[in-house]
Structures are given as C-alpha cells and as structure tokens.
Amino acid sequence: MGGLGVAGTLADPKLAVFSGATELFANDNWQDNPDWPRTADVAAQFGAFALSPGSKDAAFVVTLQPGSYTVQASGADGGTGTALVEIYEVP
C-alpha cells in the first residue's frame, strides 16, 4: 500500500501546469523549488497533505491569471502509477 492508503502510487511524481501546449511551471521534488519554504507554509495553512522533508512529492505555489489550465502528473523517472493531485485557491 502506498501513501495515504492508495495502492500503486507513483514513486517519483512530476507535476506540471500548462496553458495550451506551453508548460508554465513544473516540479519534481518539492524541496528542489527555491520557494519551497512558502510551499510548505501554504500547504500547512490551507490543510493540504503534509510535505515530508526529503520526500519525492511534487508541489509548488503558483499565481495564475484567470483562464484555462491543464495540470499533468507524470513519473519523473518514467514510472507509472496513481497520483493524487490537490489544487487550492489561495487568497
């Protein structure tokens, strides 16, 4: 059983946000993001799942203009599995 009781989870997820075919933001390991302290703070403040230090979770905080976007979860290492994606509107 993987994280949060989900079987077959993606071992090393990558998260990307697209506008049309253009990738706007991407993250593999959440602490590789220079703004990772803010990401951890926002996650805790808004009730997201906790981000464990050194984990391979993909996470970031991004400001987007109104419009349509696509979020894609994939295996950073080419792996496959189930991914849980949380999206929060942060005022």
Q: What tens digit of pLDDT does each residue of 28-60 get?
A: 999 999 999 999 999 999 989 889 999 999 999
Residue ranges of domains in the chain: 9-75
Q: In whole angstroms, what separates CA 84 from the centre of its chain?
A: 9
Q: Residue range 12-30: average pLDDT? A: 96
Measured between alpha carbons, how far is 16 from 45 in angstroms, rounded to an integer?
A: 22
- In this prediction the pTM is 0.85
Q: Judge contact between 16 and 76, C-beta under 8 A.
A: no
Measured between alpha carbons, how far is 11 from 21 in angstroms, rounded to an integer?
A: 26
